[in-house]
Structure 1
Amino acid sequence: MTTSFYGCLFMCCVIIMLEVASVVLLLAIAVDRFLRVHIPLTYKSTVTQKRSWMVVAICWFTAALLSFIPMFGWHNYNTWNGTTQANSTSFECRFFTASSRSYVVNFIFFGFFLPPLVVMTGLYCYIFLTTRRQLRLNIGAATESRTYYQKEQRLAASLVLVLGLFVVCWLPLFLMHTIKLYGPKIEVSSLFIHIGVLLSHVNSAVNPIVYAFKIPKIKEEFKKLYMRVYHDGQQH
């Protein structure tokens, strides 16, 4: 695909934004689950619908702000044919011909992939330990509290699965580019790179399936949507 340099760079930034947004939103979900367990009595008054929408907006704004930094200078324009104008449409668009590998590895991977992953791991460990402790305290009792913590534990397990799939699909690609940046003498097969890219794309396809089958509310909405479409089809 040939385009202008900045046109190519813009498309690369959009791809990065989607990955960063995924991480930030997963972190927001983990914080939400943490609050459900940490402050169960005041959760509903603390996490209102208005505040939830504000958090979602902040997540997307943050992702866009971080991902479009290359448009302002952290890119590879000076490393390719400098005799060609930036607005020329003869630029062959590939991700790392436009994007800087140091930006992707040092800024995105080390700054906004690994730290949130560590935080999320800690939050989910806290959730599982807390729910397990509460269930032991209410063992043998069919109380509302026990039902609440059982539900939170099951939902947390489903979200950990989503997080695990995200890490499995994206971590290999980040690690390979880290090796290419800091170990230039180490040969990384293009086949492995392509597999890593494929895995990152697979994550986008797998997530809706996991959400649909593992998270009750989303599963219920999918069923309602299916029944609505089915009945509309029967009527026509």
Structure 2
Amino acid sequence: MLQLASGSSLLAIAVDRFLRVRIPVTYKSTVTQKRSWMVVAICWFTAALLSFIPMFGWHNYNTWNGTTQANSTSFECRFFTASSRSYVVNFIFFGFFLPLLAVMTGLYCYIFLTTRRQLRLNIGAATESHTYYQKEQRLAASLVLVLGLFVVCWLPLFLMQTIKLYGPKIEVSSLFVHIGVLLSHVNLAVNPIVYAFRIPKIKEEFKKLYMRVYHDGQQH
């Protein structure tokens, strides 16, 4: 669910950046705080809905019915023990991850092409429009970095599971699978750090949150 929510949020951010460039004049009246909260709620609701599908039947039957028992002394990674590989590959990878990636790539390509064209038209002019598009281009570059990390951390795992599903005769080392699982989990932990370092507003909010928690701790 966290992975799906992360992907949905990245798409929502990409759409937000697209609207900033596409409709700069009416952006503030279109993207209101109420609508933003609605989008956040939709992202999490969609993630929960899609991630709970295995609980309604699309899972490894033997595992869910107790046939496969976990060894309490074993350190074997059991990330895919209960989840059906066909669900992970066909539904999550082909039906969610790849379309999401394609849409976001298209949106960011539009953003970079538009901002570059606008900056070229206003080259050498210290206008408000020039500053606006320059800022949007820098912010888009930071968000593309976040998107790149998302792809790098999740794509290896999805590709290995696709090979195991459609190429059963091809051997995939369990070590590589474990590294892929680790990368996918690391991505969720790294994202807030990348956001904080690359995006000034988020960095400022993190500082405020830290100071608030620090002062509350001092008072107690």
TM-score by length of 2: 0.90
Shift of residue 89, structure 1, vs aligned partner:
16
Shift of residue 224, structure 1, vs aligned partner:
3.2
**Is contact 2:3-2:188 (8 Å) kept?**
no
Per the alignment, do residues 89 and 53 of structure 1 end up closer, same or farther by CA in structure 2, a change over 3 Å counting? farther
SS at match of 1:41: coil
Per the alignment, do residues 91 and 205 of structure 1 end up closer, same or farther by CA in structure 2, a change over 3 Å counting? closer
SS at match of 1:169: helix
Shift of residue 33, structure 1, vs aligned partner:
0.4
SS at match of 1:84: coil
Give % identity.
Answer: 94
Corresponding residue of 2:39: 55
| Distance (whole Å) between structure 1 residues aligned to residue 68 and residue 53 of structure 2 | 23
Shift of residue 97, structure 1, vs aligned partner:
2.5
Deviations 1:70-119 (A, max 9, x none): 11111111478777999999999933331100000000000000001000
Corresponding residue of 2:131: 147
Per the alignment, do residues 68 and 232 of structure 1 end up closer, same or farther by CA in structure 2, a change over 3 Å counting? closer
**Is contact 2:115-2:134 (8 Å) kept?**
yes
The RMSD of aligned alpha carbons is: 3.5
**Is contact 1:26-1:163 (8 Å) kept?**
yes
**Is contact 1:80-1:97 (8 Å) kept?**
no
Q: Which runs of 5+ in 1 are unaligned?
A: 1-16
SS at match of 1:25: helix
**Is contact 1:33-1:127 (8 Å) kept?**
yes
| Distance (whole Å) between structure 1 residues aligned to residue 73 and residue 215 of structure 2 | 49
| Distance (whole Å) between structure 1 residues aligned to residue 34 and residue 217 of structure 2 | 36
Per the alignment, do residues 75 and 145 of structure 1 end up closer, same or farther by CA in structure 2, a change over 3 Å counting? same
Shift of residue 153, structure 1, vs aligned partner:
0.5
SS at match of 1:195: helix
Aligned runs of 1:149-228 on 2, under 5 Å?
149-228=133-212
Shift of residue 204, structure 1, vs aligned partner:
1.8
Q: Which runs of 5+ in 2 are unaligned?
A: none
Shift of residue 44, structure 1, vs aligned partner:
0.6
Per the alignment, do residues 82 and 21 of structure 1 end up closer, same or farther by CA in structure 2, a change over 3 Å counting? closer
Question: Which segment drifts farther, 225-234 or 189-198?
Answer: 225-234
| Distance (whole Å) between structure 1 residues aligned to residue 111 and residue 183 of structure 2 | 29
Q: 1:71 aligns with which of 55, 66, 82?
A: 55
Aligned residues: 220
| Distance (whole Å) between structure 1 residues aligned to residue 68 and residue 203 of structure 2 | 52
TM-score by length of 1: 0.84
Shift of residue 221, structure 1, vs aligned partner:
1.8
Per the alignment, do residues 84 and 229 of structure 1 end up closer, same or farther by CA in structure 2, a change over 3 Å counting? closer
Per the alignment, do residues 96 and 174 of structure 1 end up closer, same or farther by CA in structure 2, a change over 3 Å counting? same
Q: 2:71 aligns with which of 74, 87, 103?
A: 87
SS at match of 1:201: helix
| Distance (whole Å) between structure 2 residues aligned to residue 197 and residue 123 of structure 1 | 28
| Distance (whole Å) between structure 1 residues aligned to residue 73 and residue 182 of structure 2 | 27
Question: Which segment drifts farther, 109-118 or 87-96?
Answer: 87-96
| Distance (whole Å) between structure 1 residues aligned to residue 18 and residue 37 of structure 2 | 18
Per the alignment, do residues 82 and 163 of structure 1 end up closer, same or farther by CA in structure 2, a change over 3 Å counting? closer
Shift of residue 26, structure 1, vs aligned partner:
0.5
SS at match of 2:80: helix
SS at match of 1:95: coil
| Distance (whole Å) between structure 1 residues aligned to residue 75 and residue 88 of structure 2 | 21
